[in-house]
Structure formats: structure tokens, C-alpha cells
A and B are shown apart, each in its own frame.
Chain A
Amino acid sequence: MDICSNCLRKKSEEQLFCPWCGYPDGNIGLKRCNKGHVMFETFKTCIFCLQAGNLGKSFLNSNRQEAFPTEIVRGPSVDKTVLETGPGVTVPEDDGPGKTVLEDYDDKTRLDVGELESETAPSEKAPPPPFFAWLVFTDEDGLPVHHYRLTKERCIIGKSADADIRLTDDFISKLHTLIFFDPGKDVFYISDLASTNGTFLNGHVVIKEELKDSDRIRIGHKPMIFKRVMRKIQQPKIFGGSYES
């Protein structure tokens, strides 16, 4: 019999992850892919960039600080959302233009948008993503509070400034959860990034799971609903094609 180092509950020595909180066993190593993304040693492909193979050196889980350095390679953060709870919170000074900061939930709402949205056609800008998906943050009663459109194929939720969606909660890790889109299978996945308190999908702890429309996610004390357009969109029959349901 072993004891989980996170929740201190009993678990079998054979179990790699704690059945109560999903925390990985202390002997599980971490490794990196070519792009510097961190993953469990047992993973064959990188859950961030879907690259195969063991490409980097391994780390022991007990030495997690080494596995999460400050210079993690990641694409440019264009549109970030920060949801912060309660008064007295500070917004990082490095928030540049184009970054959305939402501060709300309790007593005040502040919306800072770096650049006013122009009325020019969006087709002149970057091409839209091949999917329509949203994260709807809800209160404890399930009523929507905020909604966030997923515009990138990889979206990291966490407390760190490196996260695409920043949630400030004591029970949320710096890089807590990854939501990513697999264009080959046309499927969204949710993956826990070895967070301390775990990621819950429809009430169960998840490591990596397929996301479906209206799935309920909970990260720390933040409940949210995943919504996406499931219908395959093609040209309609009357205009030369057909719809699929």
C-alpha cells in the first residue's frame, strides 16, 4: 500500500496515478519533446504538438521545477483572457495590447481591450479556425458568467502568464489543463498537465479524454461547459452541395 503525496490517501503501489485526485506517482518521470513541451515519460506522443517519440531527457516527478522552466517554447500569445476572483488582485504588467483582461465574479467587472475592434471584414485578417468551440464559465448554479471562443488548436488553462486562459484560484496550477484539437479526427481533447488538484470532466478525474459538446469541466473551483459545433459544414444542396448532420 502506498500513500498519495498530494491528497495523502491510500493507493495501490501498482497505480501510476492516484485514483482519488489523479496525481501522478512520484516515480513517474517527465520528458520533453523537441519543442520543449513537458509530458509524462509514458506518453508516446507529445500532447501539445502531437509529435511522436521520446525526444528529450527525462525528469523525475519529484523534481518538477526542473521540468517546468521559465523559457517554455510556445507560440505568440495574441488574445489572452484573464479571469480573476475577488478584490485586490493584480494584473501583470506585461499585458500588452490585444490582450483581454476580465476581472469579475464578485463585485466588479473590468474589460480592457487593447485595440478597438475594427469594422473591417475579418476575412482580410487571419483565416478562421476550422472549428467553432467555446468555453462557457458558469457560476455554482450553472448559469453562464463568461464565454471564451477557442480560436487556437491548443489552449492552455492555468494561473501562469504563459497560459492562454488565465484563471486565478488557489486550487489551479500554473499550467493546469490543455484543450487541444486534432484536425485529423476532428475531435477535441482535454488533458491534465500534471496539476496538483486535477482536472474534472463530468465529475471524474481525467488525464486525457475526448471532449464532446456540453461536457462539464471543473478546474479548481471554476466550473465550465465546453460547447462546439458538431455539424459538418459543407455547401448546401440548393447551392451545389449537401448538409450533413
Chain B
Amino acid sequence: MSLDKTMLQDEKELKGWLVVLNGQWKGKDYPLFEGKTMVGSSHHAGIYLPDKQMEPFHFSIRFAGGDVFLTDLDSETGLTIDCERQQVHRQKITDETIFKTADMEFLIKIL
């Protein structure tokens, strides 16, 4: 990580949190802001989770106009929301939705 790099970034409004429910990052929470947040094992992802089964850009969470969308970015393991067995590609989600991908479970808390 280059610490001497200066970055100008627009201040985005906090919209919620992504909570990791199991796996090696169990108990961690990551803030989610207005717009799109990419999650994956790439350093360039908004939320960086260096897991073997996570792809560089695995899924994204978008806050747009009061709605929240969860999108699978063509990952090999896919996304499974709550108890639905069927995998989803893009799904509008609500507060405290739980979903599973790779070997990790997540919960989305909306502010």
C-alpha cells in the first residue's frame, strides 16, 4: 500500500454496512456508501476480501434512489440469497438480507 499517495475523493453519504457472518472475516463490518461498491479479492475492489474462493470483483452492492441492488459479477460460485436455493444475478434487497457466496455469508444493514 502506498501511503504517500494523495487521493481526492468525493465525500459519499453513508448508506449502510456489509457484515460478514462467517468465515475468516467473521464479525467484521464494512461501510457502504451511495452508489456502487465492488466486493472482491482485488486491491481495487471497494471492499477487499482476500479469500481464495473470492474473485477479484465478485459482487457489487448499489444504493440508488432508496433502493439497494445486489449484483453477481459473473462469479463462479454465484450468489444465494437467504434460503432460496436458486442463485441470483441481480436482486433488489431489503434491510438485513442475508446472502452467501463462496464460503462466506454476509448481511446487509441499511441505514
Contact = CB atoms under 8 A, between A and B. Distances in A.
A231 B96 contact: yes
Interface residues of A, number: 26
Interface of B is mostly: loop
A230 B109 CA distance: 10
Contacts of B28: 122, 128
Contacts of A127: 27
A136 B14 contact: yes
29 contacts: A122-B24, A122-B27, A122-B28, A123-B25, A127-B27, A128-B27, A132-B17, A132-B19, A132-B107, A134-B109, A136-B14, A136-B111, A143-B13, A144-B14, A144-B111, A147-B31, A149-B29, A227-B111, A229-B109, A230-B96, A233-B21, A233-B107, A236-B100, A238-B80, A238-B83, A238-B85, A243-B82, A243-B83, A243-B98
Counting chain B CB atoms within 10 Å of each CB, which of A132, A136, A243 scores highest? A132
Contacts of A225: 111
A90 interface: no
A231 B26 contact: no
Contacts of B50: 119
A121 interface: yes
Contacts of A119: 50
B22 to A, nearest CB: 9
B26 A132 contact: no
B52 to A, nearest CB: 12
A79 to B, nearest CB: 14
A237 B83 CA distance: 6
Interface in A231-245: 231, 233, 236-239, 242-243
Contacts of A136: 14, 111
A129 interface: yes
Nearest to A129: B27
Nearest to A239: B100
Nearest to A126: B27
Nearest to B28: A122
A5 B104 CA distance: 56
A33 to B, nearest CB: 30
Contacts of A230: 96
B46 to A, nearest CB: 16
Interface string A208-243: 000000000000000001010111010011110011
Contacts of B111: 136, 144, 225, 227
Nearest to B27: A128
Given A227-B109, A227-B111, A231-B107, A121 B82 contact: no
Nearest to A128: B27
A227 to B, nearest CB: 6
Counting chain A CB atoms within 10 Å of each CB, which of B13, B17, B21, B109 scores highest? B109
